[in-house]
Amino acid sequence: MSEMLSPKIEYFADFMHGFYCPGCKWMHHIAIDRPSETNQQWQWDGNVNMPTYSPSVLVNWSRHNIPIVCHSFIQNGQWVFLNDCTHELAGQTVSMVDIPESQL
Ligand SMILES: [Zn+2]
């Protein structure tokens, strides 16, 4: 079950926040209200429109068997993508985007 905290943040499974990553063009979810199964948990400043999370979000995944690294900070509603990202937004800072309806 999920609900929207704002057009940019999905609240998922009663403890996770989800965002649409414009680098991966895919959803990322992080644990906020309790630790995840891998014992990871992030701090959130409570802002639904211009949120800040810490620490950084590191996602290792693969699409069509191609490994993808996505490493970012989310600060004041901006994605700060670090240089170790494998996607085209590595090293760039871009605004968070509304979650496309197709992802909900
Ligand atoms: Zn990503």
CA 71–ligand 1 middle distance (angstroms): 7
Ligand 1 center–CA 1 separation, angstroms: 22
> Whole-prediction pTM value?
0.92
Q: How far is the CA of 28 from the centre of ligand 1 (A)?
A: 7
Cα 90 to ligand 1 centroid, rounded to whole Å: 10
pLDDT, tens digit, for every residue of 22-58? 999 999 999 999 999 999 999 999 999 999 999 999 9
The closest of 29, 12, 11, 6 to 77, measured between CA atoms, is 6
Expressed as residue numbers, the domain containing 99 is 2-103
Measured in angstroms, how far is the CA atom of residue 35 from the centroid of ligand 1?
20
Reply yes or no on whether the pLDDT at 1 is more than 80. no
Check if the beta carbon of residue 81 is closer than 8 Å to that of residue 22: no
Q: What's the domain count of the chain?
A: 1
Angle at 7 between CA 11 and CA 38, to 5 degrees: 30
| Dihedrals phi, psi of 6, to nearest 5 degrees | -165, 175
Q: What is the average per-residue pLDDT within 60-71?
A: 92
Q: What confidence tens digit (pLDDT) does each residue in 2-22 have?
A: 899 999 999 999 999 999 999
CA distance 102 to 104: 6
